[in-house]
């Protein structure tokens, strides 16, 4: 199973990615702004999602909104 970002680049655990769109986090008032760099992502069982930490919160992001740095 390959996990790819919005541009088709293959993502690996430990990569850094950039958010390409402002994202509202469900169940929280947190908004992840476009251009935010997220370091040290972890791959999940789903090829369309990655687990990461943003501003101290552990969340799952969809790969369609990420670009590899």
Residue 55 Cα distances to 8, 25, 39, 46, 68, angstroms: 26, 12, 11, 23, 19
Containing structural domain, residue 31: 3-68
Per-residue pLDDT tens over the stretch 20-58: 999 999 998 999 999 999 999 999 999 999 999 999 999
Q: What is the pLDDT of residue 12?
A: 97
- pLDDT of 3 over the 90 cut: yes
- pLDDT of 1 over the 90 cut: no
Structurally, how many domains does the chain consist of?
1
CA 24 to CA 36: how far, in whole Å?
13
Domain at 19, CATH number: 2.30.30.40
């Amino acid at each position: 199973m390959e996990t790819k970002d919005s541009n088709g680049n293959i993502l690996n655990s430990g990569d850094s990615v950039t958010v390409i769109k402002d994202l509202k986090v469900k169940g929280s008032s947190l908004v992840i702004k476009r251009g935010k760099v997220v370091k040290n992502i972890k791959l999940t069982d789903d090829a369309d999602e990655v687990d990461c930490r943003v501003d101290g919160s552990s969340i799952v992001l969809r790969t369609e909104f990420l670009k590899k740095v």
